[in-house]
Amino acid sequence: MSETETLEAAAPRAKKPKQITMVQALNAAIDEAMAADEGVILLGEDVGAKQGGGVFKVSSGLTEKYGEHRIRATPISEQAIMGACVGAALTGMRPIAEIMLMNFVTVAMDQIVNHAAKLRFMSGGQTNVPMVIRTTTGVGVGFGGQHSDMLEAWFAHVPGLKIVTPSNAADAKGLMRSAIECNDPVIFIENILCYGLKSDDPGVDYRVPLGKAAVAREGSDVSLITYGRTVLDALEVAETLAGEGVSVEVIDLRTIAPYDEATVTASVRKTGRAVVLHEAVRAYGTGAEIASRLHESLFNELKAPVQRIGGAFSAVPMASVLEQAWIPKKEEIATAIRTTMDWKR
């Protein structure tokens, strides 16, 4: 063995960063927030220890640490959960509402839209409603049309609400801490298919600011703007197209509202082309708003019209083969990028 090899063998090996899933990241973020602030409470169906710590185990172990008075398993009544959280927020607490699936949020629209979102405006800024509404959704797991909708565009249309949707575990942890500390109500959307994904643990007290997008992959030819689970598809397509000589910049919005217009505009100004991707229904979706803003602000600088990709204008099918047909395909994403690259004025 040479002297160099001997020294390398003797040198201490760098420890690999600890990996955590999105479920573990969310659990850790809530745990840290509850330890730091006694006003943080969690309400929802099956969230307590007796019920197993939530359907997706995000609150596992928290009842044992903080007691049933702070981790409250509720009856099956989204209206009651949301009403209680609005009331608690008005008294100065920072409640977290767990709504098992996003479709069920519709039952509590009055409490969210007419109370949580509006009270700061109606009080002239004297009243804050600091609460987080955690909810889960996602296509591709066979839950059917009443359990799979992505309704972020509905809520992004409501002044007073912030809309967050992480694509990875590290962001989920940082965004959850920021959401709990926010003085406005936050809709926190968790995709079922992201729960098991692992990221390096960002550590204790990690935060990601609301309203700040991430450049998930740098590129120079076209900007692919997305959020949530479809960030994974975007990165895979970008890698594939790199083999064809197309440099794709992937923007992970992380927060839909507030929208990080500066990051998105800077990216599209650089590339001159944009494709907007989301899993939600394409028609009237957030992609339409983003495309409109880009056309308004960069019309003379765009090399091609902004392309939009989203789910089919249909309820999410129950049958697996139809559900898979409903979901935007990676080849559709690649085709849209090739189309914008080939566009001639």
* Active site (catalytic) residues: 78, 147
Residue 240 Cα to chain centre, angstroms: 24
Alpha carbon distances (Å) from 48 to 76, 133, 244 = 14, 17, 51
**What number of residues does the chain have?**
345
d(CA 172, CA 202): 10
**Cβ–Cβ < 8 Å for 280, 315:** no
Establish how many alpha carbons lie within 13 A of residue 19's alpha carbon, considering only the half-sphere containing its beta carbon. Answer: 6
108, two tokens: 């509590």
Q: Which whole-number Å values give the CA distances from 136 to 52, 172, 313, in the listed order? A: 17, 13, 21
3-class SS string, 36-48:
HCCCEEEEECCCC
The string of DSSP codes covering 121-158 is: HHTTTS-----EEEEEE-SSSS--TTS----HHHHHTS
Q: Is 231 exposed, middle or buried (0-12, 13-18, 19+ CB in 10 A)?
A: buried
Helix count and strand count (H, E) for the chain: 13, 14
H/E stretch holding 310 reads strand 307-311
Q: Are 211 and 260 in contact (CB under 8 A)?
A: yes
Helix (H, G, I), strand (E, B) or coil at 277: strand
